[in-house]
Amino acid sequence: MDKSGVFVGGAIGAVIVIVAFSILFVSSPESIKPEIVVSNGHTSSTVGEITPLYSKSLSLIEIFEKSESGVVRVNVQRSETGNGDGGIGSGFVFDKKGHIATNAHVVDDAKKIVVTFLDGRSYNAEIIGTDEYTDIAVIKVNADLKLLHPLPLGDSSNLKVGEPIAAIGNPFGLSGSMTSGIVSQLGRLLPSGSGYSIPDVIQTDAAINPGNSGGPLLNMRGEVVGMNTAIQSTTGEFTGVGFAIPSKTIVKIVPTLIEKGEYKHPWIGISGRDIDPDLAKILGLKDAVGFLIITVVENSPASKAGLIGSEKTIQVQGVNYPMGGDIILSVDEIEVRKIDDILVHLQRAKSVGDEMVLEILRDNRTTNITIILQERPN
């Protein structure tokens, strides 16, 4: 069979390209490129009922023994008849009230959801809330309290590249499987089917395969530092590049999903491009840093604050370069090297209705402009 992006999920459901969560993507044999693939067969008063942190590093055996009871298998049926259209993912217990955290793409279009615990007992689950912009969902089961073992949540902002981590889930339907690896990189920008990228994502080489989606990524103290969500692959199987939503995002999104069923993301209302060396030279900039605004959306926070997009282009050696737009140099005194820095700051620190101060370069002069963030439109 041609392996240029045709993914077969078998019993665990179709592996889906994350650029369009619900669409099977087929690339031409002539141009095989690694695609970002969803690895899916498909406060309470305190966030996730955080338990005291372990003060020392644990062995992989200890991590598994402490965590396996808090990891569940999520079976999804996407048709009324239950024939042929479903999938398997993973999830983890968030609190003693029966809330389970998983990926939004795992439960997308679900007609029926069944959660299975370590001892084999299964319960029907209902969807409490989903957020496609971060690929996070919360489902709930009315399970025996003895089965509900919330996993402790760590702080993903403390992770370091090279730090050992472990993933637990149900790859290819094999329940309760553990893999290990390291943090390969932090702050990745992950394309999503919503049209907006997911910021601040963890990259890891711990094996993540179809069925792992929604399972926990754990540090060596046994704390959840991420939620496994996608792989980069041409075949749909793991090739050494996996991605996880950071716990910093989970802690912010999940309690709101439990309370309100949805999460409203802050929005600026601009599009543009990062300043690269060629563009910096053409614009007469000393350093290739910052984000050039090309388009300002009408009636957006950016428009209301008076930000200006590019009004013309200049062609150099056959390449068109935008000219004349504002260049964002910092947000809330945090340097902007590229768009990732803006998106990470919005995700970590901002909410709808907050003010954000942008330092911009306009007509060779820097100035500060304050915008009031609005809800991101669909």
Q: Could you report the per-residue pLDDT of 336-361, keeping only the tens digit for each?
A: 999 999 999 999 999 999 999 999 99
Choose the catalytic residue: 105, 149, 265, 345. Answer: 105
- The reply to whether 44 belongs to the active site is no
**301-342: pLDDT as tens digits:** 999 999 999 988 888 888 888 888 999 999 999 999 999 999
Confidence tier at 15 by pLDDT (50, 70, 90) = very low
CATH at 163: 2.40.10.120
Same domain, yes or no, for 281 and 224? Answer: no
Residue 306 shares a structural domain with residue 276: yes
What is the phi-psi region of residue 364: left when phi exceeds 0, alpha when psi lies from -120 to 50, beta otherwise? left
Q: Are residues 124 and 201 in the same domain?
A: yes
Q: Are residues 253 and 321 in the same domain?
A: no
Residues 156 and 55 in one domain: yes
**Could you confirm whether 42 is annotated as catalytic?**
no
Residue at a domain's end among 235, 263, 291: 263
Residue 294: which CATH number?
A: 2.30.42.10
Judge if 239 and 283 occupy the same domain: no
Domain boundary among 241, 263, 285: 263
Residue 157: other Cβ atoms inside 10 A: 12
Q: Which of 26-40, 148-162, 270-284, 348-362 has the lowest mean pLDDT?
A: 26-40
- Mean of the pLDDT values across residues 159-173? 90
Task: State the catalytic residue, choosing from 135, 205, 326, 341.
Answer: 135
Both 276 and 258 in one domain: the answer is: no
> Is 105 part of the annotated catalytic residue set?
yes
Domain of 277 in residue numbering reads as: 266-375
Same domain, 218 and 316: no
Q: Is the pLDDT of residue 371 over 80?
A: yes
Average pLDDT over residues 122-149: 95
The total domain count for the chain is 2
Indicate whether 252 and 282 sit together in one domain: no
Annotate 233-296 with DSSP letters as a single string. ESSSS--S-EEEEEHHHHHHHHHHHHHHS--PPEE--EEEEE--HHHHHHHT-SSS-SEEEEEE
- Over residues 239-289, the pLDDT tens digits come to 678 999 999 999 999 999 999 999 999 999 999 999 999 999 999 999 999
Residue 248 and residue 274 in one domain: no
The domain boundary residue, chosen from 225, 243, 263: 263
Q: Are residues 189 and 320 in the same domain?
A: no
